Amino acid sequence: MNTPRRAPLHRVVILVALSLFAASVASAQGAPEVSKAEPPSWWAGSTLNPVRVLLRGRNLTGARVEAVGAGGVRAEVTRTNAAGTYVFVDVLIDPRAAPGARRLRVTTAQGTTETPFEILPPLSRAGRFQGFSPDDLIYMLMIDRFGDGDASNNDPAQSRGIYDRNNKFYYHGGDLQGVINRLPYLKDLGVTAVWLSPWYDNYDRPNEIELKEGRPSTGFHGYNAQDFYTVDEHFGTLAKLRELIEEAHKQGIKIIQDSVVNHTGPYHPWVADQPTPTWFNGTRERHLANVFETWALHDPRADPQIKRATMEGWFLDFLPDFNQNDEETKRYLIQNTLWWIGVTGLDAIREDTWQYVPNSFWKEWTAAIKREFPQVRVFGEVKDGDAVHVSFFQGGRVRFDGVDSGLDSLLDFPLFYPARHAFASGKPVKEVAQLLAKDWLYTNPDLLVTLIGSHDDGRFMSEQGATVAGLKLAHTFLLTTRGVPQIYYGDEIAMPGADEPATRQDFPGGFPNDARNAFTRAGRTPAEQDIFEHTRRVARLRAELEPLRRGTLVTLRADTHQYVYARVTERGSVIVAINNEGNPATLEFNVTAANFAPDARLDDRLDTIGNVRAQGGVLKITLPPRSASILTTAPAR
């Protein structure tokens, strides 16, 4: 018989002491408290199961978690952080689980607490999760600056003091109800999809970290989230967001979320207390500053430290940079994206600061979206004028890093710059055609989101040399070239704005006591009405003429200040001729390359030159200064 060996007395004393110490710590920490569950809900039958719920609170060391309520749900703790302030819980939802309220019961040696968790009925797929296509016209607006539809949320109690229409860096009162109120205006303009600035809850105080012109700022723009599962109280509620999306869908308008997974705001609770030691790249006290040397990401000779500082540096040096290589961070961000789509029925995503996040993360993120919502599409922001650089990020091809990101589309900033230079400043329009000649770099150039205005740039009308005539040409080009056109709010009435705060001004008429209402014809100046009518007219032609949406782009002529191109499908063709010069221009070009007959009679749908006829396959036209024609087959007499 073997006699068990006794542990040395000193080891027994140590074990007893450790046990007593642990018991004293547990006693000192008090009863468990939960202040936040993320996500707060999910739906049965999801492709993602279990859902990992992050509980934030106090005194959570040693916690056990169980699901209580109507059944169909099980919960299991996967990890707790060292400080006892976060618990990660896997919540397994039976596909047959009945919708309704559940609770997550958290138990420690010191007591028990509960936090709500809801099982949602899956939203019907009909008329939701639609994605976007070249058939769409996107309108980008900043919620806070578009329209104040509910004055009661202008200065809510939890964030009182950061609403001031006289301060260009504070909240001005625009909200989700304001967008709902203007859906008829957008539909009349020809808009089929609305890209909303981020609606996440931002910090509820003046930002003393990011000073603007020496003064505190706010997160009215939405890009500095402090809560990724709550709608900002200045904009409304989750119920109001759902109402907006439902009403938009009834009017044939899609909704695009502006998503941010690169960083969070400077006042997020995670900044002082990370859920995991590597939740962020670094800490508030010790982190890399972003050097924004994005060219180095593809340079085999670049110092790895330059690449690291670009990918892992804190954005603007005060926005904490998520570490998507942390498994918990990655899962949190993927789930957050799926949750917003699933609980609202939105249609597509514009993804902020795409190039500063690893492609390996994007591959998993986009795959998760496609598994759950196959029709939802994403376009990413890579703010760079180099088509070689930007095209690298579009999915559909494994790149040199061995990854296919899965990204559907991108904002076409390489086209943005020459288009602005040509139509605003009078530089060669030929550079636009030369840029489009690089479309072979992309896996799908026809899905690129084209633009001539952005919330991060001065407005078109504040470019040196810009005129309403130039803006009309820019919109003509935007709405007739390849891609998915996006109009920035206010550009349809030629709003000015030379810098970031000015380019984010209030839409006139969207707010109480505005001197005029530019949402109406009576409230517009003659110049505003001119550009509005022109933009609406071309938008309607685009909706009417299939080639302007789906046709192959064919360059017929590209001179220094003149550009002629066609959009060609099996069912028809349209020719667009642009004279960007301050003098009349006579142009000759071959129409047979656009599948027109050699003696085709063409009708100018913009009424610039009237009806014209080709001879021997060549069309000769004279365009007035700074003008354009949209030519289609003339109706038979």
Which DSSP string do the residues of 215-264 spell out, in sequence order? EEE--TTS-SEEEEEEE-TTT--HHHHHHHHHHHHHTT-EEEEEE--SB-
Question: Residue 557 pairs with which residues in a beta bridge?
Answer: 564
pLDDT in tens, 420-473: 999 999 999 999 999 999 999 999 999 999 999 999 999 999 999 999 999 999
- Other Cβ atoms within 10 Å of 164 Cβ, number: 15
Spatial separation of the C-alpha atoms in residues 535 and 541, rounded to whole Å:
10
User: Per the structure block, which two tokens stand in for 337?
Assistant: 């994206």
Q: Under a CB-based contact definition with an 8 Å cutoff, are residues 138 and 487 in contact?
A: yes
Q: Under a CB-based contact definition with an 8 Å cutoff, are residues 561 and 579 in contact?
A: yes
* Residues carrying CATH 2.60.40.1180, the chain: 552-633
Q: What is the pLDDT of residue 19?
A: 43
Spatial separation of the C-alpha atoms in residues 412 and 300, rounded to whole Å:
25
CB burial of 32-53 (b: ≥16 within 10 Å; e: otherwise) equals bbbeebbbbbbbbebebebbbb
**DSSP-derived 3-state class of residue 65:** strand
Question: Residue 349 pairs with which residues in a beta bridge?
Answer: 257, 378
pLDDT in tens, 355-385: 999 999 999 999 999 999 999 999 999 999 9
* Residues carrying CATH 2.60.40.10, the chain: 31-120
Crossing angle for the helix pair 468-478 and 413-425, nearest 10 degrees? 150
User: How many Cα atoms within 13 Å fall on the side-chain side of residue 68?
Assistant: 13
Picking from 544, 545, 541, 568, the residue whose alpha carbon sits closest to that of residue 556 is 568
* CATH number at 138-272+324-544: 3.20.20.80
Q: Under a CB-based contact definition with an 8 Å cutoff, are residues 336 and 228 in contact?
A: yes
Query: Can you give the pTM of this predicted structure?
Result: 0.95
CB burial of 346-361 (b: ≥16 within 10 Å; e: otherwise) equals bbbbbbbbbbbbbbeb
Fold for domain 552-633?
Immunoglobulin-like (2.60.40)
Q: What is the pLDDT of residue 29?
A: 76
User: What are residue 63's phi and psi, to 5 degrees?
Assistant: -70, 145
User: Per the structure block, which two tokens stand in for 222?
Assistant: 């939405």
Residue count (the chain):
637
CA 428 centroid distance within chain: 31
* Residues carrying CATH 3.20.20.80, the chain: 138-272+324-544
250 CB contacts (<8 Å, ≥6 apart)? none
Q: What is the DSSP letter of 48?
A: S
pLDDT lower than 50: segments of the chain: 1-27
- Bin 278: left if φ > 0, else alpha if -120 < ψ < 50, else beta: alpha
211 CB contacts (<8 Å, ≥6 apart)? 217
Give 266-282 as a DSSP string: TT-HHHHS-SSTTSBSS
Spatial separation of the C-alpha atoms in residues 148 and 142, rounded to whole Å:
12
Q: What is the pLDDT of residue 28?
A: 61
- Other Cβ atoms within 10 Å of 513 Cβ, number: 5
Q: Which CATH number fits domain 31-120: 3.90.1420.10, 2.60.40.10, 3.40.50.300, 3.30.70.20?
A: 2.60.40.10
Q: Under a CB-based contact definition with an 8 Å cutoff, are residues 91 and 51 in contact?
A: yes
Q: What is the pLDDT of residue 634?
A: 82
User: What are residue 564's phi and psi, to 5 degrees?
Assistant: -125, 130
Q: What is the pLDDT of residue 636?
A: 63
Q: Under a CB-based contact definition with an 8 Å cutoff, are residues 151 and 172 in contact?
A: no
Q: What is the pLDDT of residue 378?
A: 98
